[in-house]
Amino acid sequence: MSLLGNALRAAFPKSGRRMMSEPDNASTWPSAMIPPDDPKRQFTIADPDGPRVRHVSVSGGTYTILVTGGDSAGRYCLIDMLVPPGSGPPPHRHDFEEMFTLLEGELEFTFRGQKSIIHAGSTVNVPANAPHFFKNISDGAARMLCMCAPPGQEEFFMAIGDPVDARTTPPPNLTEQEREQRRRKARELGPKYRTEYLKS
């Protein structure tokens, strides 16, 4: 038996869960290794077209906030993104992990200056601090799920975007002056939300 197994058996002789790396007759993990259930936390059901969720227009797309940091006890947020043809964010980077699962459409994804074509069904993980951006190169809208860990990106989008009524609501028809105002606000609030915009 390993030294770790002996130590755990001595420390927790009555534990009932077997260690995965130990043989059948080896010591077990203590149940106290997993914290107890927190009954104050609630089960989250996020219908992207339901009344509970919020929708906001950002960078020409419509983003639906499915799971907030409050829902996940500060672990992650999940956003449903609907991006029109030719749209996408400018080059940027941030100090949190970001993962996209493309449900519909096709994206040109630029990561550290290298371009990749992403097809529906693929998942992309962007490491924290790495420069990246994407553009919808489909004929129709691209739809994806975006998870950020830890959360905060959903709050950033709500702070800089324009609220809209539904997931499929087209973005507002902004003037060039209004678009520049949104870009300036995003640059100003970026540091607060751990995001840096980069030169194209």
Residue ranges covered by each domain of the chain? 3-33, 54-170+177-197
Res. 199 pLDDT band, cuts 50 70 90: confident
Is residue 142 within 8 Å of 101, Cβ to Cβ? no
- Give the closest residue to 28 by CA, choosing from 12, 50, 45, 51: 12
Q: What average pLDDT does the structure give for the chain?
A: 89
For the beta carbon of residue 138, count every other beta carbon within 10 angstroms: 20
E-strand ranges in the chain read 17-18, 28-29, 54-58, 61-67, 77-83, 92-94, 97-104, 106-111, 114-119, 123-126, 132-136, 142-149, 162-164, 195-197
What are the tens digits of pLDDT across the range 47-90? Answer: 999 999 999 999 899 999 999 999 999 999 999 999 999 999 99
Q: Is the pLDDT of residue 173 over 70?
A: yes
> For the stretch 159-168, what's the b/e string if a residue is b when 16 or more beta carbons lie within 10 angstroms of its beta carbon?
ebbeebeebe
- Asked if pLDDT for residue 24 goes beyond 70, the answer is no
Q: Is residue 141 within 8 Å of 87, Cβ to Cβ?
A: no
In this prediction, residues 82-111 reach a mean pLDDT of 97
Q: What pLDDT, in 10s, does the model give residues 130-157?
A: 999 999 999 999 999 999 999 999 999 9
Q: Write the CB contacts of 14 (distance below 8 Å, at least 6 apart in sequence).
A: none
Fold of 54-170+177-197: Jelly Rolls (2.60.120)
